[in-house]
Amino acid sequence: MDYSLRPASVCTSEDGSKFDGTGQTTASETQQQTPNNKHYRLRLWGIIAGLCVINLLCALEGTVLITSLPSIAAELDLGDKFVWVNNVFSLSAAVIIPSCGQLADLFGRRWVTLVIVAVYLVGSVICGAAQNASMLIIGRVIQGMGSGGVEMIVPVVIADLVPLRQRGNYMALVLGIFALGTVLGPILGGVIIQTTTWRWIFYMNIPICGVGLVMLFLFLRVGHNREISSMQRLKRIDLMGASILIMASVSVLLALTYGGSSHSWSSAHILVPLFLGVSGLVLYMLYEGSQFCVQPMTPLRLFGSLSSVVLSVNTVINAFLLQCVTFFLPVYFQAILDSRPSTSGIHLLPSVLMAIPGAAIAALVLTRTGRYKFLHLLGFALVTVGLGLFSMLGPRTSTAEWVMFQLVVAAGAGMVFDSLLPAFQAGQSERDQAAATATLTFLRCFANTWGFAVPTAIFNTQIERGLDAVRDVDVRQELSHGQAFQHATGEFMRSLSQNTRDEVKGLFDEALRRVWKVSVAIALVALLLVLLEKEVPLRQELETEYGLEGGSRKENDESNSASR
């Protein structure tokens, strides 16, 4: 998103109130529009509460299928299409983010946010009513678009309302809610599967969406520039960039999904889409920086320093590792420890119980000192050590051990997750704050796709190599051709004879160790990259034309100071 075309004179709130481009009302309307600090803070916390509700919703949906997908796959006869139920969700979430960020800049935050939540609601209804694989996948695509929009708009709105130095306090709360939803998702999914129909996994989103929509409709009334006509805004939407990005992303995902399972990695069926996809991503960046792109979704100036590049790469790595842990720890609990779906969700609680304090520590350090490099060093060091400990997990690992291993990873991941975005924003100008937020959110969402597809490919490939250790021909057939991950459940394991179960458990155990070892190497790369970061002071002033309507910049700063 390019903000250089934005007039600096007068902008208008989304209900028609006029502002001077700094968040301050024009002189003729100051007396009627300026609220007191108490009123401002009430509206601010109303917005934060609404953002937390919709963020919880997306967090739940991102992981609720971990424990319930096998049951859904069986009822709808998904076959090898099961992998796309999660992949299309992550993919559509990622590719929609740059466009949503641009739309929020062109048409304002309020209505874009409400439309995003409504889209998510429609996708949930379609998924809940799905009668076949195609209908479910279409619903997940629409859900993913809503989820990606939410992940983008939440930090953007907070960036509009809170100075950078104080932003960590509010993001820690929002991300804490997100972490809670991430861990509760598998538990709810398991409980719903065991007590009622899987359709309630999607139908439960309806009342949550309703509450979020009402809260945001009432409180999310912020400034908006109306100097440019609607037709001019539509012409500035980067349709070409969005098209290139979508096609490139789909091509890469096809290669990652089927590589090592349906086709070997050296097969043309994998190499061609992988090459086209990577080439498409390069082409996208070249187009965004070219004269042909009137208003880029991803301005290349955001990556003008080594630190910004490092922070971008580490955002991808952190999201990748979090997704890997979220999806493969339940595999360990169910396939190796014979846990039931709901129980495996409970086993993940140590992750959220430590991730929230980790995020809180990061927020406190950022607010008090304005420094983040130490957080990144400590955070990635803990993640690297914790993933190394995961590679020691096995059938005889005690409860105390796997709980402690989770605490180490979660503490480090929480510190990093909450401090990467403010660090990236610190190196950008005020006009690029929303663009920076949308860009890093896109990278995080895109990494979520890789964080499921790549470890799954590693897991399935390792299973293929060791299938000869399983003597039962029928079981070998069920685990071959990329179907191992969907069979890594306690239910499948309990259906096997004792001898076959031991053989399969050993196979799964070895495949999981390979996943964790690759993850350690990736985490170590992130840790080394932190050394290249340059620490930039975090701003304590707020300059935005998207602040709460009627709030002067002085009063907004006073209110934020009072909330420290």
Quick: pLDDT tens for 94-136. Answer: 888 877 777 877 777 888 889 999 999 999 999 999 998 889 9
The answer on 367 and 284 residing in a single domain is no
pLDDT band at 40 (very low <50, low <70, confident <90, very high): confident
* Both structure tokens of 517: 């070892």
At 421-432, the pLDDT tens digits run: 888 888 777 667
As for how many domains the chain has, the answer is: 2
Residues 246-298 pLDDT 10s: 888 888 878 877 766 667 777 888 889 989 989 998 998 898 888 888 778 77
Residues 338 and 248 in one domain: no
User: Does 397 have pLDDT greater than 50?
Assistant: yes
* Exposure of 376 in the CB half-sphere (CA atoms within 13 A): 30
- Same domain for 230 and 279, yes or no, is no
Task: Kindly state the average pLDDT of the residues 479-484.
Answer: 76
| Dihedral of the alpha carbons of 457, 460, 466, 472, in degrees to the nearest 10 | -170
Q: Is residue 229 helix, strand or coil?
A: coil
Residue with tokens 């139920």: 85
What is the predicted pLDDT for the residue at 295? 77
CATH number of the domain enclosing 468: 1.20.1250.20
Q: Is residue 233 part of a domain?
A: yes
Same domain for 43 and 85, yes or no, is yes
Residue 184 included in any domain: yes
Residues 218 and 53: their CA atoms lie apart, in Å, by 14
Q: Summarize the confidence of residues 173-187 as an average pLDDT.
A: 74
Domain boundary among 250, 267, 293: 293
Q: Are residues 227 and 142 in the same domain?
A: yes
Q: Give the type of residue at 494.
A: R
The reply to whether 247 and 341 lie within a common domain is no
Q: Are 321 and 521 in contact (CB under 8 A)?
A: no
Which is nearest to 522 in space by CA: 464, 447, 418?
Answer: 447
One domain, residues 269 and 308: no
CA Rg value for the chain: 24
Rounded distance between C-alpha atoms, residue 373 and residue 424, angstroms: 11
Mean pLDDT over residues 363-380, rounded? 85
Q: 284: domain range?
A: 239-293
Q: How far apart are CA 119 and CA 121, in angstroms?
A: 5
Residues in the chain: 564
What are the backbone angles phi and psi of residue 263, rounded to the nearest 5°?
-140, 150
Whether 233 shows a pLDDT value over 90: the answer reads no
pLDDT value, residue 451: 83
Select from 293, 309, 334 the last residue of a domain: 293
Helix (H, G, I), strand (E, B) or coil at 65: coil
- What tokens appear for 310 in the block? 């490092």
Percent above pLDDT 70 for the chain: 81
Is there a single domain that holds both residue 179 and residue 274? Answer: no
Contacts of 49 (CB under 8 A, 6+ apart): 215, 219
Considering the domain architecture, whether residues 166 and 67 belong to the same structural domain is answered as yes
Of 278, 293, 308, at which residue does a domain stop?
A: 293
Residue 3 belongs to some domain of the structure: no
β-strand partners of 259: 263
- Same structural domain, 171 and 252: no
In a domain? residue 402: yes
On whether residue 2 sits in a domain, the answer given is no
pLDDT at 120: 92
Q: Indicate if 119 and 243 belong to the same structural domain.
A: no
Residue 12 backbone dihedrals phi, psi, to 5 degrees: -130, 140
User: What pLDDT shows up at residue 225?
Assistant: 59
Q: Is residue 354 part of a domain?
A: yes
Query: What is the band of 559 on the pLDDT scale with cuts at 50, 70, 90?
Result: very low
DSSP letter string over 256-278? Answer: HHHBTTTB-TTSHHHHHHHHHHH
**Can you give the pLDDT at residue 316?**
92
> Would you say 365 and 375 are in contact if contact means Cβ atoms under 8 Å apart?
yes
Torsion of CA 260, 266, 269, 273, to 10 degrees: 100
**Residue 404, token pair as written in the block:** 């402690």
DSSP result, 475-533:
HHHHHTTTTTGGG-SHHHHHTS-HHHHHHHHHHHHHHHHHHHHHHHHHHHHHHHHHTT-
In the numeric block, the tokens 């997750």 are attached to 417
Side-chain half-sphere of 538: how many Cα atoms within 13 Å?
25
Which backbone phi and psi does 11 adopt, to 5 degrees? -125, 170
Residue 204 maps to a domain: yes
Q: Which residue has the higher pLDDT, 520 or 349?
A: 520
Give the C-alpha separation, 62 to 54, whole Å. 12
Give phi and psi for 120, each to the nearest 5.
-60, -40
Both 348 and 359 in a single domain?
Answer: yes
Residue 4 domain flag: no
Direct distance between the N- and C-terminal alpha carbons of the chain, in angstroms, rounded to an integer: 31
Half-sphere exposure of 253 (CA within 13 A, CB side): 24
Three-class secondary structure assignment of 198-224? CCHHHHCHHHHHHHHHHHHHHHCCEEE
Q: Which residue has the higher pLDDT, 482 or 498?
A: 498
Q: Tell me the average pLDDT across 327-336.
A: 86
